[in-house]
């Protein structure tokens, strides 16, 4: 017997990822020494808010976005896997916001980790989005990939300065 997958938890996770990402980049922006890093963090902070709004729109209109069926075992295993990674990443973000970073380079490396985790989560969510609505999520995933590339370029730049 199949159950209808209820993706509310995943969309709520996406909203929290974006909220915590915004807090992280706001914290980094205020503490960064490198001007390029400050500008990058401001840009990423603003992008996180835009993405949060997109996911909030999905949540507010969930029936228009997502339909998928799972067998009960797959459903439970999937939610456990996503929840475990989400909890780990969010605890790491909150810890880093409180503790801070030893250097701008360390901060950028952590930003790379956060962007990768976001891409993985949103890519997993994509399977459950109706075909006609996937472009909304695809746009967010593409932007997260651009953020990842920007951070990698910035990391390389900071590595050359050291």
Q: Partners of 4 in the beta sheet?
A: 69
User: DSSP character for 34?
Assistant: S
CATH of the domain at 86: 1.20.1260.10
Q: CB atoms < 10 A from the CB of 21, how many?
A: 27
pLDDT at 74: 64
Domain count, the chain: 1
Q: Partners of 3 in the beta sheet?
A: 70
For residue 76, what are the domain limits? 3-161
Please answer whether residues 32 and 107 qualify as being in contact, where contact means their C-beta atoms are separated by less than 8 angstroms: yes
Please answer whether residues 141 and 119 qualify as being in contact, where contact means their C-beta atoms are separated by less than 8 angstroms: yes
Q: CB atoms < 10 A from the CB of 18, how many?
A: 22
Cα separation, 24 vs 71, in Å, equals 37
Residue 57 has pLDDT above 80, yes or no: yes
* pLDDT tens track for 140-153: 999 999 999 999 99
β strands within the chain, DSSP E: 3-4, 69-70
pLDDT at 79: 61
Mean pLDDT of 63-68: 70
Mean pLDDT of 88-105: 89
Mean pLDDT of 49-63: 90
Pairing type for strands 69-70 and 3-4 reads antiparallel
pLDDT at 147: 94
* pLDDT tens track for 99-112: 989 999 999 999 99
Name the pTM for this structure. Answer: 0.82
């Amino acid at each position: 017997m199949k159950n209808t997958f209820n993706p509310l938890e995943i969309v709520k996770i996406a909203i929290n990822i974006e909220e915590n990402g915004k807090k992280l980049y706001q914290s980094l922006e205020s503490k960064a020494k490198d001007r390029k890093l400050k500008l990058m963090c401001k840009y990423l902070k603003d992008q996180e808010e835009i993405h949060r709004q997109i996911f909030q729109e999905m949540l507010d209109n969930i029936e228009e976005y997502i339909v998928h069926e799972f067998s009960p075992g797959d459903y439970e295993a999937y939610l456990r896997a996503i929840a475990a990674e989400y909890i780990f990443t969010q605890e790491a973000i909150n810890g880093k916001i409180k503790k801070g970073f030893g250097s701008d380079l360390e901060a950028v490396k952590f930003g790379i980790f956060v962007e990768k985790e976001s891409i993985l989560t949103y890519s997993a969510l994509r399977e459950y989005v109706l075909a006609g609505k996937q472009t909304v999520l695809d746009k967010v995933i593409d932007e997260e990939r651009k953020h990842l590339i920007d951070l990698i370029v910035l990391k390389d730049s900071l590595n050359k300065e050291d």
